[in-house]
Structure 1
């Protein structure tokens, strides 16, 4: 881990020794060091300025690390033109901040393009439960339009990829034309997994098609033996035939019963119907509610903490006002737009690099 993100200063580390030496060379007088301490958000009254700076700077670094202000201190020092003679400052700042937060708690995430996740404490808990080997098999996301059921895919996918799992997204709303049949649903899954397709018999009734496709699917998952996650987005009769909706529900039942082992997990987003009565009590359900202003505040607080920085309530209020462009939070909130703008504001405010997750 970058020493700027550690909570105990590593005096025995090469970077630690070089950083201390650079600070002693730049600020060997107390008056200069006081300005740096204030610039880093530390209290000058905590240090003995009459003592030798060789004794005082180690105490400053210890406290800065404990309070998570070490990155802020080095950032302030780098703004001093004289610091250019000491490469350690710029080199340490070029190393991305590393969050100690586990993936389920991330508020800002992404590998190539960052996204923000506001609130969703219950979703995080359900996802953690599903990833346990003996955990449940199905999560159903309900709620009003525009609240973020489909958007949950991005967070779930990011967490799973970090665990070595590549989930399958079956986005039913993208299908144009006539409603999809069970064979159409299975064909989409097979295409994404590079499986051979079991084509239906000509004029095969859809109920028979669904039954045979389900048996084939179960055999294929058992043979594969690895973890398989399928995220069905909006599997409703607007997009699927009744037999296809039943087919999706039966795949979920297979997952909840662990009929093919513990490796199959299913997420049904924007699905409001019941599954079989025998599995309903154990299925995880998450009624996705609209985000509120307090969730936007919590986002900036969590990201700043993950970056090793701290912000007071007034600063958070200003960040939220900037995010909302000084207007009330609309209902339903435009999650995609808010996410991208929140990431931009957080990156600029806290000096976060592109690859930061926290």
Structure 2
């Protein structure tokens, strides 16, 4: 799936290169006939319309065709070439048929073990499953890496993943505006009146919910990088209200994942929310990753050789980052022509 950085680059470059929406409609329909009318059935702002087109192109696997057509039409706009290169670089041949069992994700990023998380995501993506997942765990267990597996499996089931970092400590209206921006929805946000900050946050969540219903596109909101510094008043209430919407009215369209979220959930939501406690992976898990990829690629390497290499690497204590770097390096070494 295209990262938010390159998604924004594609959208902004397109609306500047093709300033007239009717011209853009003609171009899009030239790539996939009738797509504009199917994806944008009602009149909406041009930028929001093209975001909807990009979303559909990702979900239905024709994004590369769209970007390739823009590269050919606008050869001088190097931004399109950058987006195309990113798409090609991120494309990694699968090692298994079931995406929930994949160990080599986009950009050749290894993903080790986390079987409980894989099972929780199966439940989360199920129409009848829970709509909320809370991820936690001690340091050096790979909590933040959970995003890469989520971003791998969710689009294959029609979900667009939007990640929101809480490090900036956004106020409720700032977070709501960020969410609406990702949705491509141009909606005014209410200022706080005489009501409590919690009630104001609920009203902001209502605005986001209406935008999701109007678009009818499936979204997975991932809230990550909560710090030990408390969030501004109302921000946690906004997230909780969106999670409640996901469990109720927005069940067909929304899933919510939060990492290291410390606020208490309403009891009805707390009872059904999924939970994953990230655990460190073992050297045996690392061997399994290498061998799954090796078997899928028909590489000439034995499990014993892999075990020895990994054990030798762990002769001294290693950080999580070092272990992932070692795995990537070994995979690249095995993939190199001999």
TM-score bracket for the superposition, by shorter chain length: 0.5 to 0.7
Distance in 2, Cα, partners of 1:130 & 1:291: 23
**2:159 matched to 1:168?**
no
Any idea what SS the aligned residue of 2:140 has?
A: coil
Alignment root-mean-square deviation, CA: 2.5
Which position in structure 1 is the counterpart of 2:174?
184
> Any residues of structure 2 matched to 1:53-202 within 5 Å, and which?
99-110=95-106, 113-173=107-167, 175=168, 179-201=169-191
TM-score normalised by the chain length of structure 1 = 0.62
Quote how far apart the aligned CAs of 1:138 are.
0.7
Deviations along 1:35-58, one digit per CA (max 9) or x if unpaired, are: xxxxxxxxxxxxxxxxxxxxxxxx
Q: Is the 8 A contact 2:202 2:237 kept in 1?
A: no
Deviations along 1:99-129, one digit per CA (max 9) or x if unpaired, are: 343211111111xx22111110111111122
Distance in 2, Cα, partners of 1:236 & 1:137: 24
Which position in structure 2 is the counterpart of 1:305?
295
Q: Which runs of 5+ in 1 are unaligned?
A: 1-95, 353-358
Which position in structure 1 is the counterpart of 2:258?
268
Which position in structure 2 is the counterpart of 1:348?
333
Distance in 1, Cα, partners of 2:182 & 2:188: 14
| Higher RCO (CA 8 Å, separation ≥ 6 residues) | 1
CA distance 1:299–1:349, change in 2 (3 Å)? same
Q: Is the 8 A contact 1:168 1:192 kept in 2?
A: yes
Quote how far apart the aligned CAs of 1:329 are.
4.0
Which position in structure 1 is the counterpart of 2:244?
253
Distance in 1, Cα, partners of 2:231 & 2:335: 46
Quote how far apart the aligned CAs of 1:199 are.
2.4
TM-score normalised by the chain length of structure 2 = 0.65
Q: Is the 8 A contact 1:116 1:339 kept in 2?
A: yes
Q: Is the 8 A contact 1:142 1:287 kept in 2?
A: yes
Distance in 2, Cα, partners of 1:320 & 1:282: 40
Q: Is the 8 A contact 2:222 2:258 kept in 1?
A: yes
Q: Is the 8 A contact 1:101 1:306 kept in 2?
A: no
Match of 2:315 among 309, 316, 327: 327
Quote how far apart the aligned CAs of 1:201 are.
2.1
**2:323 matched to 1:338?**
yes
Distance in 2, Cα, partners of 1:241 & 1:182: 8
Quote how far apart the aligned CAs of 1:213 are.
0.5
Quote how far apart the aligned CAs of 1:263 are.
1.9
Which position in structure 1 is the counterpart of 2:218?
227
